[in-house]
Amino acid sequence: MKGKAVLAFSGGLDTSVVVKYLQEKHNLDVVTVTVDVGQGDDQKKIAAKAKKLGVIKHYNLDARDEFVKNFIFPAIKANALYQKKYSLATALARPLIAQKVVDIAKKENAKALAHGCTGKGNDQVRFDVTMRSSSNLPIIAPIRDLNLTRDVELKFAKKHGIKIDTTAKKFSIDQNLWGRAIEGGTLEDAYKEPPDDAFIWVKTKNLPDKAQYLEVKFKEGVPVAADGKNLSPIDLIEYINKKAGSCGIGIVDHIEDRVVGIKSREVYETPAATCLIEAHSDLEKMVLTKHELKFKSVVDSEWAWLVYSGLWEDPLKSDLDMFINATQKRVSGTVKLKMFKGSLRVVGRRSDYSLYSHDLATYGSGSVFDQTLAKGFVEFWGMQSTEANKLQKRGEK
Ligand code: ARG
């Protein structure tokens, strides 16, 4: 009996080539796994493709709910933005897909794991590291390990009768519920503005002339309702993607440092992520102390860095999660966002745990803040700086 390899399968050129490669060069039976994280692909078509390639079994796993609850929600709590810009859609999905592939490999008693990542990107890191943390099986990644180029792959595909959509693809896309990543093509010129047709989720023309409001209710750091309606986690993300996207919100264009050292120009459409992280971090400012906020911003950026870099399974990530979860107990309340022709602004927030006190802050009458106490406070606060400056001036003479 032949051994089995379990492959993370998207139905595209890379993973189709990998199926044939595993069958022919490794003499393995192939089991394919497609994990639905909201990429919007026709799962029936992907299953048919896998069958045509001669796989012995195909799994289609709907992991959307798990993706939102166990990956997107922790990212919201961490206000997760890699290099202050990228909300990590692809980076969050990879460990989940890798975990599912390992689960199936155990169930199928497989001999190897496989993926179709190249050696230039971040996904190979995320897949390999997550797979290795729960399995000792070898990982076969032919596109990377044989240094295959697209042309070689196309030739290989033709030779093996693999049907590939030949309509020239303008961009390389990866998408799921949390965002759409657009790379390649004309975007590789970092000075060239992305053409409007790169965008599908975010409207770029004929935007509404009237501002739209979006109200998001959070409970312990997690969004639970939008515009007064309690929605399921998946519905909530989809609702905000649609509404904010139609107001032109959520385009991100930046230069990103990949794990392997390459700087790349990345363009994203992330309407829900942009709104939810903006709203969540604003609410935190209302309920957390300034000491908590200062320290948490360091933790948040470390969290995003770990997740981007494929270290979802590192103990440090779960240590940081424990801290972050402890801070979220009071992050409940409602935030009001205003969206107008591509601009986004928080225009209101309220919470039962608010540390904002009108009576302390007001410039009007009735303030309970005793200004006379401030004089002494300021003197002590600035004492060391003042002394240091005096000393420096003396030295300059
Ligand atoms: N740069 C992002 C990341 O590493 C997105 C990559 C998306 N891939 C793509 N083929 N467009 O997470």
**Residue 70 DSSP SS3:** helix
Question: Distance (Å, rounded) from C-alpha 203 to C-alpha 21?
Answer: 41
β-pairing verdict for 222-226 and 212-219 = antiparallel
Supply the pLDDT for residue 68.
98
Helix segments in the chain, DSSP class H: 13-24, 43-52, 64-67, 73-77, 89-107, 123-134, 142-145, 150-159, 233-246, 271-287, 290-308, 315-327, 358-361, 374-381, 383-396
The pLDDT value recorded for residue 167 is 63
User: Of the CATH numbers 3.40.50.170, 3.90.1260.10, 3.40.190.10, 3.40.50.300, which one belongs to the domain with range 172-350?
Assistant: 3.90.1260.10
- Which residue type does 267 have? V
Beta-carbon contacts of 349 under 8 Å, excluding residues fewer than 6 positions away, are: 282, 283, 286, 333, 334, 335, 336
Alpha helices in 200-342 (DSSP H): 233-246, 271-287, 290-308, 315-327
The predicted structure's pLDDT at residue 397 = 58
Question: 174 in ligand 1 pocket by Cβ < 6 Å?
Answer: yes
CA nearest to 232, candidates 66, 79, 74, 96:
66
First to last CA, the chain: 89
Q: Which fold has domain 4-159?
A: Rossmann fold (3.40.50)
Q: Which amino acid is at 47?
A: A
* Residue to mutate (ligand 1; options 127, 130, 183; most atoms within 8 A of CB): 183
Q: What is the DSSP string of 30-66?
A: EEEEEEESS----HHHHHHHHHHTT-SEEEEEE-HHH
- Which of 264, 266, 308 has most ligand 1 atoms within 8 Å of its beta carbon, as the pocket-test mutant? 266
Domain definitions of the chain by residue range: 4-159, 172-350
Nearest 5°: phi and psi at 211? -65, 145
Confidence (pLDDT) at 166: 60
CA of 305 to the centre of ligand 1 (A): 15
> Is the distance from the beta carbon of residue 91 to the nearest atom of ligand 1 less than 6 Å?
yes
Sequential pLDDT tens for the chain (397 residues): 789 999 999 999 999 999 999 999 999 999 999 999 999 999 999 999 999 999 999 999 999 999 999 999 999 999 999 999 999 999 999 999 999 999 999 999 999 999 999 999 999 999 999 999 999 999 999 999 999 998 899 899 999 888 877 666 899 999 999 999 999 999 999 999 999 999 999 999 999 999 999 999 999 999 999 999 999 999 999 999 999 999 999 999 999 999 999 999 999 999 999 999 999 999 999 999 999 999 999 999 999 999 999 999 999 999 999 999 999 999 999 999 999 999 999 999 999 999 998 999 999 888 899 999 999 999 999 999 999 999 999 887 5
Of 348, 342, 215, nearest to 276 by C-alpha is 215
Residue closest to 196 by CA, chosen among 208, 205, 184, 206: 205
The pLDDT of residue 365 is 87
Q: Which of 10, 14, 29, 332 is catalytic?
A: 14
| Active-site position among 65, 150, 172, 343 | 172
Please give the model's pTM, rounded to 2 decimal places.
Answer: 0.96
Q: Which amino acid residue places its CA nearest to atom 11 of ligand 1? A: 173
Of 348, 351, 350, which is closest to residue 330 (Cα–Cα)? Answer: 351
Query: Given this chain, do its domains 4-159 and 172-350 carry the same CATH topology?
Result: no
